[in-house]
Amino acid sequence: MKSLLRGWGRSPSTPAAPRYIDGARMYCIGDIHGRADLLLDLQARIEADVRGYTGRRMLLYLGDYIDRGTQSRQVVDQLLERPLEGFETIYLKGNHEQALLDFLRYPEATAAWLDFGGLETLESYGLSLTSQPRAQDLGELARRLAAVLPDAHKAFFESGLLHWRGGDYLFVHAGIRPGVALDAQHEEDLMWIREEFTGSLRDHGVVVVHGHTISAEPEFRFNRIGLDTGAFHTGVLTCLVLEGTDQRLLQTGPGEV
C-alpha cells in the first residue's frame, strides 16, 4: 500500500534517459489476472495521484486480465462499465485472452488453457466443473462458454492491441524478439516470449515495458521494464507512472491471499 520510486538504470551505451511524450503522463498497469479487488484499489490510487494534473492523461493495460484469480468476469465488467474518466485508455491483449479465444475455436487443440488459469475463468462465468473435462467433452464445454460469454467481453478480448508506442517506450504484453525489427515482430512473440527477451542485453532502440514474466519486484533494466508482480497470488498489482524522464511506481499490497 505504498508508492515506490525507481531510478533509471542506464547502460554505458545509453546516451540519455528515455523520455515519455511531452505534456503527457502515462499510467501503465501490469497483469491483473482475475483480481478485480486489486484493480479497484489501484484505480483509486491512480485517481488520487493524477488529481490536479492538467496535462494529457493516459492509461495503458498490458493484458492478462483473466485467468488464475477468481474474478475474471468482474475484472472485464469493471474495465468496460467503469473506466477511469478523463483518461485516454489503451488495452493490450495478453496471451491468456488469446488462449480463451483459441479455446472457443479449437477446444481439443488448446485444452492446455484449462491448466493455466482457464478453469478459474470458467467458474467466474458460471461454469463450475467438478472434475477435469474429458477430451470428448471439450467441444461441448467450449460451446457452453460461448453461450455465457457476453458479446462485449468477447469483443474486448478480440480488440486488444499487440503493442503501443509512446515516446522512447514500447508497450507490449510479453516482450519482443531481440534482433528483429520492431515492425517485423511476430504476434506470438509479443504475447508469449520469455527468456529470449528477458535475458537479452541488446539495445532494442526503445525501452520495452511488459508484463507476462513474474518477478518479486518490478524489473528495471536499460532495455526493458517488467511489471508482472504476480498479483493473483501476491496481492501486489503494479502500475508504472511515466512523465518526461521520470519513472515511479504505484502498487497495491503486499499480502498473500
pLDDT on residue 27? 98
pLDDT at 257: 38
8 A C-beta contact, residue 58 and residue 25:
yes
Q: Cα 89–242–9 angle (5° rounding)?
A: 140
DSSP state of 100: H
C-alpha span between 25 and 50 (Å, rounded): 9
Q: Is 245 part of a structural domain of the chain?
A: yes
In a domain, 116, yes or no: yes
Q: Estimate the crossing angle of helix 151-159 against helix 95-105, to 10 degrees.
A: 120
How many residues belong to the chain?
A: 257
Q: What parts of the chain have a pLDDT lower than 50?
A: 1-12, 14, 255-257
Q: List residues bridging with 169 in a β-sheet.
A: 166, 207
Work out the angle between the directed axes of helices 72-81 and 36-50 (0-180°, nearest 10): 30
The reply to whether 9 falls in a domain is no
DSSP H or E segment with residue 159: helix 151-159
pLDDT at 5: 32
Total domains in the fold of the chain:
1
In a domain, 17, yes or no: no
| CATH number of 114's domain | 3.60.21.10
Distance CA 94, CA 112 (A): 16
In a domain, 6, yes or no: no
Determine, yes or no, domain membership for 126.
yes
Give the largest Cα separation in the chain, rounded: 58
Does 21 reside within a domain? no
Q: Is 200 domain-assigned?
A: yes
pTM tops 0.95, yes or no: no
The pLDDT assigned to 128 comes to 87
Domain range for 90 is: 30-251
